[in-house]
């Protein structure tokens, strides 16, 4: 998440985690939404930059990438939970 700062990471992380939680029909708390959103942002950023060669900057681009990454993270965690 380029150009948004640490407060931006937190705000975008919470928002992305919240949206991913609703899309995946899960029920988490604020801290979990933050963690899912920030980890999702890292995952989404890695995929966007390294695999798709896309560069998203600013609040909106960061939010989109973080939300997609958070949804993917929750999906993968759901798959692992079913196996275990």
Condensed to tens digits (0 to 9), the pLDDT of residues 34-72 reads 889 889 888 988 888 888 888 777 788 889 989 999 999
State residue 3's pLDDT score.
65
Could you tell me which residues come within 8 angstroms of residue 10 by beta carbon, excluding any fewer than 6 positions away?
34, 38
State residue 18's pLDDT score.
93
State residue 75's pLDDT score.
93
Mean pLDDT, residues 70-78 taken together: 92
Percent of the chain with pLDDT over 90: 25
DSSP string computed for 9-73: HHHHHHHHHHHHHHHTT----HHHHHHHHHHHHHHHHHIIIIIS----BHHHHHHHHHHHHHHHH
């Amino acid at each position: 998440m380029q150009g948004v700062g640490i407060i931006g990471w937190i705000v975008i992380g919470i928002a992305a985690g919240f949206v991913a939680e609703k899309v995946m029909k899960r029920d988490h708390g604020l801290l979990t939404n933050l963690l899912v959103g920030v980890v999702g942002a890292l995952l989404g950023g890695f995929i966007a930059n390294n695999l798709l060669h896309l560069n998203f900057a600013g609040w909106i681009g960061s939010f989109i990438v973080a939300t997609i990454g958070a949804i993917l993270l929750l999906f993968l965690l759901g798959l692992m939970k079913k196996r275990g």
